Amino acid sequence: MSEPVYRFSGHESFSCRYAWIPKAVEAIQNDPFLFSNIDDAMVQLGLGKNMVQSLRFWVQVMRVAQPSSGNGLQLTDFGMQVFGPSGLDPYLEDNTTLWLLHWQLCSHDENPLFAWHFLFNRYQEPEIVRSNVLEAIERESLKLARPLAKATLAQHFDIFMHTYVPTRGAKNEILEDNLDCPLVELGLIENNGQKINWQGKQEIAYCFNREPKPDLSIGTLLYAVDDYWRRHKPDEETLSLSELTTGNGSPGQVFKLPEDEMRSCLAQFNEWDEDFEYKESAMFEQLKRVKKEYVASDLIAFAYEGEVANA
C-alpha cells in the first residue's frame, strides 16, 4: 500500500477552540456560502481572517461539514446528527462528542494529518519531548516526495499538542479562555515532568495516557470498530485483538487503550449487539461479526446511551 498524501497545514496556526464548532454549524445552516466570503464570515463569526480559514479547516477534518457545490459547505450526516437543530449534543457538552470528534480527526485514510497519524500510530518512544519528536518528524519528512521546512513541521506539531494539552499561564494555572481545543478534556496526553532531551538539555516531557478511559462509551468504541473494519478489512468476518489494538488507525491506537482493556471491551460487544461475538482461545483472540453493514447513525445514537466501555 502506497503512503497517503499527508496534510501539514490548513489550520493557520490555530487549534480548534471551544465555541468554534457550534458557531460554525449555526453559520453553515444559515448560509452555506458564508465561509467563501471571508469578510462576511469575519463579521458574522467575530473572528479574524486566519481564524475563519482555520475554522473552515477544522469543521472539515473533524467531518462536521464537507464541501458542497459552488464553494459552499454543508453539514455531514455526522455533523447534522450531533450538532443539528435536533442534534444529540448541539452545544458540545457531552464527552462522547469529544471522543467521536477525536476519532474523526484520526481516521482519515487518503489525506491524514501527519502529526496525528505519526504520533498515534508510529511513534514508539514512551515520552513526547518536543525536540526529540521534531527530530523524528524531520527524518520522516525526508521520505516524502516534497520535504518540508523545519518551521512548518514545528508549527504542525505544536498545533497537535495544543489540541490535547491545555494552555497554562506563568504560574502554571489553566487559563480557561485560552484552552486551545475541547479535546484537552479527554486527557489523552499528560505532563510527565522534566526530562533530558537528545541535545542534553532539560525539557518538559509528555506521555500518552494509556489507562482505561472511564468516559469512553461502549457505543463510541463500537462505532470506531465498525468504521475501522469497514475501511480496512471490509470483506473479513473476523478481526484479531492485535489488529484492533495495535493496527495503524485502530481504535486501540487512537483511543490509547491497553490490550487488557480492549479485550474487556470487545468481550462486552455481544451483550449490546448479538451480531458481534468475541472469541478467545489458546490459539487466537478475535472479534467476529455476523453482518457487515451497520447504519452509522444508529451506532452514533448508541454511543450517547451512556454505557461505559470497560468492565
Say if CB 264 and CB 311 are below 8 A apart. yes
Mean pLDDT within 198-208? 88
pLDDT number for residue 52: 96
Instruction: Identify which has the larger pLDDT, 168 or 132.
Output: 132
DSSP string, 152-212: HHHHHHHHHHHHHS--B-TTS-B-GGG---GGGGG--EEEEEEEE-TTS-EEEEEEE--S-
Full-model pTM: 0.93
What pLDDT shows up at residue 171? 45
What are 236's three cell numbers? 473479513
**Domain extents for the chain?**
20-91, 114-208, 218-303
Q: How far apart are CA 183 and CA 254, in angstroms?
A: 13
Is a pLDDT exceeding 80 seen at residue 264? Answer: yes
pLDDT at 31: 95
Q: Which residue in the block uniquely carries the three cell numbers 457550534? A: 22
SS3 294: coil
DSSP state of 17: P
Q: What mean pLDDT is predicted for residues 241-267?
A: 94
Question: Topology of domain 20-91, per CATH?
Answer: Arc Repressor Mutant, subunit A (1.10.10)
Given this model, what pLDDT does residue 309 score?
A: 58
Decide if 111 contacts 5 (C-beta within 8 A): yes
Q: Is there a shared CATH topology between the 20-91 domain and the 218-303 domain? A: yes
Task: Identify the H or E element spanning 127.
Answer: none
For the CA atoms of 227, 100, 85, 67, what is the dihedral angle to 10 degrees?
Answer: -60
Lowest model confidence (mean pLDDT) among 8-22, 121-135, 194-208, 234-248: 194-208
278 to 57, 128, 262, 272, 302: CA distances (angstroms): 38, 34, 11, 12, 19
The CATH number that domain 218-303 falls under is: 1.10.10.10
